[in-house]
């Protein structure tokens, strides 16, 4: 990410170099920048809006459409540069640190007294900067899911695949039954989501070496060539209309039976829920073939920007952070979002079987070392590295490039800082 450069320019222009004493007192309106615009996403963020409104705050919504937030992050930079930093923005993973390093965030420790004992240590670490809490986490999304339309599976006479060989068998059967086997959208982050699923299917250790450690030997290994070959083969089951297609429109294809399967994180479940489809009856959530014991995590969070004339977090910012981590909100938000609460110990009895599976698989993966950060969703690497690797995967998936040269390009991209 170019936050560092961008903030340098900003400071030089005299716009924002720490608190400005002359600025006015923050009003009790909270401006919130996020990218939750699909049906399920809007419902989920609506829970926060309602909670804040009930507490007397005015909600100013800055929703920037575009799954996974690329457009939202661009809008955020523009807002901060122009001296209009939002009260809170949806930022996650290493990007939290990148923004914190600019000195533009405010800590929220005063409402985070019991957070440490109620969060998985991996997550607690991510939302800290300089030993202080600077972000409030919403929920845990598992990325390595395969969604299957149950009627399509039955019609094709297939079974839920647990290996790639079984996956291709099911896909062939769906094709033969006149069903589009895989619904796929058309943005780079969706390409990377599928690619990292396939990396994970080679084992959590392989994933960690390649994606977390950026180990050159692993990145250039025969196994990595195999990953690209598998991705290429899966592409053979996409339809021709995927260019520019949003993820939720691909999910809709699975919901209405136009397509059989989709590789997507469990925010897709918010769409199924919105269409009144039931997990287990209308659709199946299965771990991506070969990844049953692993779990790619993706934790959304809000960070809080220093407001004009304020040295510390405003009451509205503290109220947001406190609300987001409250057990009641954690439950309601995740029920709409398709995720599971990030706060430990929240009751799961109102959740569907997919969420219950997510929860128990998460606990197993944490213990076994299979709990890994998603690259496609900003949890594994900073913006520059992740961006360079995304470019390689997207180029491969949108051309006839061979796997070996993609692997060489990937290893090179991983050196980007």
Query: What is the footprint of ligand GAL within residues 211-250 (CB under 6 A)?
Result: 247
What x/- string results for residues 258 through 277 when contact with ligand GAL is judged by CB under 6 A?
---------x----------
Closest CA to 113 of 325, 340, 344: 325
Tokens 């607690």 locate to 124
- Interface characters, 61-80, with ligand GAL (x: CB under 6 A): ------xxx-----------
Least distance from C-beta 220 to ligand GAL, angstroms? 28
Indicate the residue among 41 and 196 with the shorter CB distance to ligand GAL: 41
Q: Is the dihedral of CA 201, 203, 206, 208 positive or negative?
A: positive
In the complex, which residue's CB is closest to ligand GAL? 67
Q: Which of residues 280-299 bind ligand GAL (CB under 6 A)?
A: 298
Distance CA 77, CA 100 (A): 14
Structure tokens given for 236: 């053979």
d(Cα 225, Cα 281) in Å, to the nearest integer?
37
116-175 residues in contact with ligand GAL (CB under 6 A) are 141
Cβ neighbourhood burial of 101 (10 Å; 0-12, 13-18, 19+): middle
Cβ(285)–Cβ(279) under 8 Å? Answer: yes
Q: Write the CA distances from 346 to 41, 137, 333, 334, integer angstroms.
A: 21, 14, 12, 11
Q: Give least dist CB 378 to ligand GAL, A.
A: 7
Q: How far is the CB of 81 from ligand GAL (least distance, A)?
A: 23
Tell the smallest beta-carbon distance from residue 233 to ligand GAL (Å): 25
Identify the three-state secondary structure at position 22.
coil
Residue 377 found at the interface with ligand GAL (CB under 6 A):
yes
* Minimum CB–partner distance for residue 312 and ligand GAL (Å): 28
Q: Which stretch binds ligand GAL (CB under 6 A): 34-42, 128-136, 202-210, 253-261?
A: 34-42
Shortest Cβ 192–ligand GAL spacing (Å): 11
133 strand-pairing partners: 128
Q: Which residue has the tokens 């987001």?
A: 324
Residues near ligand GAL (CB under 6 A)? 35-36, 41, 67-69, 141, 247, 267, 298, 300, 377
């Amino acid at each position: 990410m170019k936050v560092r450069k961008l903030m340098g320019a900003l400071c030089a222009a005299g716009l924002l170099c720490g608190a400005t004493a002359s600025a006015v007192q923050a009003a009790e309106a909270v401006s919130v920048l996020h990218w939750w615009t699909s049906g399920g996403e809007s419902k989920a963020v609506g829970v926060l809006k309602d909670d804040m409104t009930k507490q007397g705050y005015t909600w100013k919504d800055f929703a920037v459409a575009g799954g996974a937030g690329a457009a939202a992050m661009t809008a955020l930079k523009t807002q901060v540069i122009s001296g209009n930093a939002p009260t809170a923005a949806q930022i996650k993973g290493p990007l939290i640190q990148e923004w914190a390093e600019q000195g533009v965030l405010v800590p929220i420790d005063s409402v985070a007294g019991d957070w440490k004992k109620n969060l998985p240590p991996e997550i607690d670490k991510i939302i800290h900067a300089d030993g202080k809490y600077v972000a409030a986490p919403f929920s845990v999304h598992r990325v390595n899911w395969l969604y299957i339309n149950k009627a399509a599976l039955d019609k094709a006479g297939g079974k839920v695949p647990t290996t790639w060989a079984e996956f291709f068998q099911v896909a062939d059967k769906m094709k033969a039954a006149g069903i589009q086997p895989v619904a796929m959208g058309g943005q780079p982050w969706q390409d990377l989501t599928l690619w990292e699923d396939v990396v994970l299917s080679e084992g959590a250790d392989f994933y960690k070496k390649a994606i977390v450690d950026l180990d050159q030997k692993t990145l250039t290994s025969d196994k990595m060539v195999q990953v690209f070959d598998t991705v290429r083969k899966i592409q053979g089951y996409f339809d021709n209309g995927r260019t520019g297609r949003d993820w939720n429109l691909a999910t809709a294809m699975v919901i209405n039976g136009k397509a059989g399967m989709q590789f997507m994180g469990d925010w897709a479940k918010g769409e199924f829920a919105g269409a009144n489809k039931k997990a287990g009856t209308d659709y199946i959530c299965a771990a991506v073939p070969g990844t049953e014991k692993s779990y790619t995590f993706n934790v959304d969070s809000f960070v809080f920007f220093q407001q004009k004339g304020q040295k510390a977090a405003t009451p509205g910012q503290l109220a947001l952070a406190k609300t987001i981590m409250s057990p009641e909100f954690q439950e309601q938000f995740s029920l709409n979002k398709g995720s599971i609460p990030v706060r430990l110990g929240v009751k799961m009895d109102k959740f569907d079987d997919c969420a219950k599976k997510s929860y128990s698989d998460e606990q197993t993966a944490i213990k076994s070392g299979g709990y890994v950060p998603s690259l496609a969703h900003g949890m594994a690497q900073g913006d520059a590295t992740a961006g360079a690797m995304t470019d390689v995967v997207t180029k491969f998936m949108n051309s006839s490039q061979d796997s070996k040269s993609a692997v060489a390009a990937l290893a090179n991209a991983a050196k980007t800082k």
